[in-house]
Amino acid sequence: MHFRQAKKLESLEGLEELKADEPTSEETKESVRQVMSLMKNLPLRQQEIFHLREVEGLSYEEIAGHLDISLEQVKVNLHRARKSIRERMLNQKTTK
């Protein structure tokens, strides 16, 4: 209401569409390959949950329903998967 009264609204007409699919750098592609490779070393449940969340884009609730587990189990397993991948990536960077 404040902006309507102050007439500070601007039209969005004429703005060009933002490109959602911008080209990714080679470094980004390599990082994705590395994460996917490290994911294969995780326990099966963590792999499933990580894939459903990060690749498929499902919500925690959707993952819990799909795998028939509690929301808390989804959060714990996802946290452990991310932590494990992060630690392994850091170890690989320090050894290079």
Check residue 57 and report its DSSP letter.
-
Distance of CA 19 to the CA centre of its chain: 19
| 72 Cα distance to chain centroid | 18
Domains and CATH numbers, the chain: 38-96 (1.10.10.10)
Residues 52, 63: contact at Cβ < 8 Å? Answer: yes
Helices and strands in the chain, H and E counts: 5, 0
- pTM, entire model: 0.69
DSSP secondary structure code for residue 16 in this structure: P
Percent helix, percent strand, percent coil in the chain, to nearest 5: 65, 0, 35
Question: pLDDT digit of tens for each residue in the chain (96 aa)?
Answer: 444 444 444 444 544 454 455 556 888 888 888 888 999 999 999 999 999 999 999 999 999 999 999 999 999 999 999 999 999 988 888 886
